[in-house]
């Protein structure tokens, strides 16, 4: 979710502070999980990516350039990526469970839970209010 750092740095508007903090929370959490992901890759004897080109070659979301710094537009974009991430995590969890890799399955279950929580937040942000 490198895009969350772009959103964190560039969000604008009357709710700047709230969205800056929200995008920052997501960025920091994802960033904190990178080392664990790399360690799991090494457990399975796979080289973890470490160059910028490695990361660019392995991304699944593209650059995702937006023409605005509107927090609502950013949340809509992030929700699409978050839903894809949940699907990817679910597929990996299924493989880990099938292969009886309990530790990896636990890690993936925790990642799924946090992404589901963010999805709930984002959907709530985008939901129209009833007065």
Q: What is the pTM of this model?
A: 0.83
Predicted confidence at residue 116, as pLDDT, reads 98
**What's the chain look like in SS3?**
CCHHHHHHHHCCCCCHHHHHHHHHHHHHHHHHHHHHHHHHHHHCCCCCCCCHHHHHHHCCCCCCCCCCCCHHHHHHHHHHHHHHHHHHHHHHHHHHHHCCCHHHHHHHHHHHHHHHHHHHHHHHHHCCCCC
Q: At what angle do helices 102-126 and 71-98 cross, to 10 degrees?
A: 160
Phi and psi torsions of 49, nearest 5°: -65, 145
pLDDT at residue 61 in the model: 56
Kindly give the confidence (pLDDT) of every residue in the chain, 131 residues in length, as a single tens digit, with 9 standing for 90 and above: 567 888 899 999 989 999 999 999 999 999 899 899 999 999 999 888 877 676 666 665 555 566 778 899 999 999 999 999 999 999 999 999 999 999 999 999 999 999 999 999 999 999 986 66
Cα 47 off chain centre by: 22
């Amino acid at each position: 979710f490198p895009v969350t750092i772009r959103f964190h740095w560039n969000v604008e508007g009357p709710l700047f502070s709230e969205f800056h903090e929200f995008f920052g929370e997501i960025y920091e959490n994802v960033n904190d999980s990178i080392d664990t992901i790399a360690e799991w890759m090494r457990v399975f004897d796979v080289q973890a990516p470490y160059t910028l080109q490695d990361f660019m070659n392995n991304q699944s979301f593209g650059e995702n350039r937006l023409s605005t710094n509107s927090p609502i537009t950013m949340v809509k974009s992030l929700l699409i990526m978050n839903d894809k991430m949940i699907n990817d995590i679910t597929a990996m969890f299924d493989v880990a469970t099938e292969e009886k890799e309990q530790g990896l399955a636990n890690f993936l279950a925790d990642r799924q839970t946090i992404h589901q929580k963010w999805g709930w937040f984002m959907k709530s942000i985008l939901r129209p209010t009833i007065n």
